[in-house]
Amino acid sequence: MQMNAKDFARLFGGFATEKRVRLIRALLDAGPSGLSLLELSRKTELSVIDIGITAEALLLLDLIDIEIKGENKVLKANSQLVRSVFEKSYYAFGSGRDKPHEPDPEPEAEPQTDTDAATAEVSGTATESGAEAEKTAP
């Protein structure tokens, strides 16, 4: 996605207050599992009310996501978007602007599980054995 000045300004606005930065930092540190509101309150020393107000702005910018797990709301950072904003700004405004822009990395293919590999191997072997049997059949 190509970002123009308006896109950068909008997304960097997500980092415009100390509360927003503390919230995003805590969620990035937590990783993909995210944090409940109470855990986030403990880590950031913000009240649940402050987190709610701050999170609303970050949700609108798509910098965080909220999931409902049972009776708890779990907040997660959109780490891919955060990383993209800073990488793209490096090439648009920082010292990287004199360097050729590196394309966004392709999403990694999920590794083939041992079960899938074994199934493919067994079915491939069975097919080869069947082909050999056809060659030797009268």
SS3 30: helix
Q: What is the pTM of this model?
A: 0.63
Query: Are 43 and 35 contacting, i.e. CB atoms less than 8 angstroms apart?
Result: yes
Enter the tokens of residue 130.
């069947």
What per-residue confidence (pLDDT) applies to 88?
A: 83
What per-residue confidence (pLDDT) applies to 12?
A: 82
SS3 125: helix
Alpha helices per DSSP H over 68-113: 79-92
SS3 94: coil
Question: Cα–Cα–Cα angle for 119, 124, 125, nearest 5°?
Answer: 100
- The residues of the chain scoring below 70 in pLDDT are 1, 96-138
What per-residue confidence (pLDDT) applies to 43?
A: 95
CA distance 119 to 125: 10
Query: What is the tens place of the pLDDT at every residue in 51-78?
Result: 999 999 999 989 999 999 888 999 999 9
